[in-house]
Amino acid sequence: MKVAFLNPPRVMERLTEDFTIAYNVSRFSRGVDIVYGVTPPTELAILAAAVKEKHEVAFCDANALHMFAHEVCEWMRDERPDFLVVRGGDATLTADVMFYHYAEAMGIRAVLWEDTLNPLYSQRLMSDFRLKRVLYGEPERKIFEILDGAEGLVGGDIIPDMDALPQPLMDALPMERYVKEGRRNWYSFLQRGCGWGACAFCLIAPSDITHRMRSIPHIKQELEMLKERGVETIYFWDPQINPSRERVHALCDLFAQYPFKWEAWARVDVMDDELAAAMKRSGCFRLHLGVENGDDHVLKSINKGTTADMIRNAFRALRAHGIERAAYFCMGTPEESEDSFRRTMSLIREIKPTTIVPASYRPFPNVPLTDQARHAGMLVQDHYDLALESDCFGTALATRTRHMSAEQLSKWMDRMHALSTRIALRSYAFKPSVWKPYARIFMVRAIRNRLVRRRTPHGQ
């Protein structure tokens, strides 16, 4: 059997040719987010490698190749696969589904792989878009049920041993296209699930996704492949490089053997001077940290497991060692108030991040905080509606809070965004390699976000 894999072109998002959306990489462990640069579809490439053990495969990263819809159809016609696996993502869902239907119309059996991890969401997707086959969550074993003829919703697998996963099928990818901040880049992951796994707003928190780590030798195999292919930077796209001190040291010892510079996500609770020094020595240039809020009361209400003091200490250590600090915020959760916004903005000034990303809380289905917000009548839109608006940037407000109306929230979010712009300018004004590719995107995006917000119902 011949199985083809398609990472669809992000036609809805193609404002310029130099960015794409990072959910191409891994959402088993994280929610939706964006990163500028052309990101490799790492996990689709792992899935293709798993299928290649039993079937002939073809692969098309139409996103990186900047293909248009008719070019993708020509590729399908030329390849004539028995099956097409289309990577679906909630930020570009309507465009992704289009390729599923094109394939079916051409007589190719298609399956949409949607990794939102939530059967309710995928079920709704399947009926709304009239899809015969949807695969959700970790796909490397379940795909074979579909290839054997299963229809409907298939998924929900948790693969216990991360080392059982094959390495990504890099030879099928246009590796030279994956460039971020002017350097050949790769997205990788060190684990699935999260060592904390309890934040009340998080997509993976309520599920039974256990925390499973790749072994050091398994990661080393991938690093060897990347070295051979001239990759210069790696972005470890999973929730935390630091589930424990021991793990940080083991990883840093490994990374120190390679010339790569790397960035990763981390939690603030396992971070101090010694760890920051080890990271810096092994090539770390940037960490992404989920700060979420500067108010201890709000942090407690979302079960973040951190405090403002932990945030201060982590940022102090990273700054002392010259590591860039990207701070992410989840604003508008039910306990948010004007006072908590003030505390958050004051903390931001104190900890001096190099960038901040203020996102509105997204009410993912089946997440404890979403249920809480819904029962309290605070939900304005749900995640599915936002996905259909292709708003993966957390700009459209989905809730009001116990203490704030949607209009008040909106005003404070505008202030956060203005602060974010000032911080980015201060940090990167003299680093054109960072901001130059994005300048046009931000302008178009700013206009679009304003329009989206106007369309968003408020104050219910």
- 243 counts as binding ligand SF4 under rule CB under 6 A: no
- 205 counts as binding ligand SF4 under rule CB under 6 A: yes
| Cβ–Cβ under 8 Å, residues 114 and 143 | no
- 155 counts as binding ligand SF4 under rule CB under 6 A: no
Residue whose CB is less far from ligand SF4, 170 or 351: 351
From the list 153, 199, 268, 396, which residue makes contact with ligand SF4 (rule: CB under 6 A)? 199
Interacting span for ligand SF4 (CB under 6 A) from 82-90, 166-174, 191-199, 452-460:
191-199
Distances (CA, A) of 429 to 323, 331, 355: 17, 26, 12
CB of 245 to ligand SF4, least distance (A): 17
Residue whose CB is less far from ligand SF4, 41 or 243: 243
Sign of CA dihedral 276, 281, 286, 287: negative
Residue whose CB is less far from ligand SF4, 102 or 196: 196
- 394 counts as binding ligand SF4 under rule CB under 6 A: no
Residue whose CB is less far from ligand SF4, 292 or 382: 292
* Strand (E) or helix (H) holding 291: strand 284-292
From the list 58, 175, 204, 380, which residue makes contact with ligand SF4 (rule: CB under 6 A)? 204
Residue whose CB is less far from ligand SF4, 135 or 205: 205
d(CA 304, CA 247): 21
Segment 151-159 long-range contacts (CB within 8 Å, at least 24 positions apart): 152/126, 153/119, 153/122, 153/123, 153/126, 155/119, 155/122, 156/119, 158/208, 158/209, 158/210, 159/192, 159/212
d(CA 444, CA 142): 40
Residue whose CB is less far from ligand SF4, 199 or 287: 199
Site for ligand SF4 in 7-36 (CB under 6 A): 30
Q: Which residues contact 201 (CB under 8 A, 6 or more apart)?
A: 302, 330, 333, 361, 362, 364, 367, 369, 370
- 202 counts as binding ligand SF4 under rule CB under 6 A: yes
Closest CA to 285 of 412, 158, 185: 185
- 361 counts as binding ligand SF4 under rule CB under 6 A: no
CB of 267 to ligand SF4, least distance (A): 6
Give the count of residues interacting with ligand SF4 (CB under 6 A): 12
From the list 133, 180, 247, 267, which residue makes contact with ligand SF4 (rule: CB under 6 A)? 267
What single letter denotes the amino acid at residue 160?
A: P
| Cβ–Cβ under 8 Å, residues 308 and 321 | no
Interacting span for ligand SF4 (CB under 6 A) from 193-201, 341-349, 383-391, 452-460:
193-201
Residues in the chain: 460
> Beta strand pairing status for 2-7 and 56-61?
parallel
Distances (CA, A) of 65 to 7, 20, 48, 232: 10, 11, 18, 20
- 194 counts as binding ligand SF4 under rule CB under 6 A: yes
* Strand (E) or helix (H) holding 104: helix 93-105
Residue whose CB is less far from ligand SF4, 28 or 393: 28
- 290 counts as binding ligand SF4 under rule CB under 6 A: yes
- 137 counts as binding ligand SF4 under rule CB under 6 A: no
> Residue 324's CB: how many other CB atoms inside 10 A?
18
- 196 counts as binding ligand SF4 under rule CB under 6 A: yes
Residue whose CB is less far from ligand SF4, 108 or 200: 200
- 239 counts as binding ligand SF4 under rule CB under 6 A: yes
Binding site for ligand SF4 (CB under 6 A): 30, 194, 196-199, 202, 204-205, 239, 267, 290
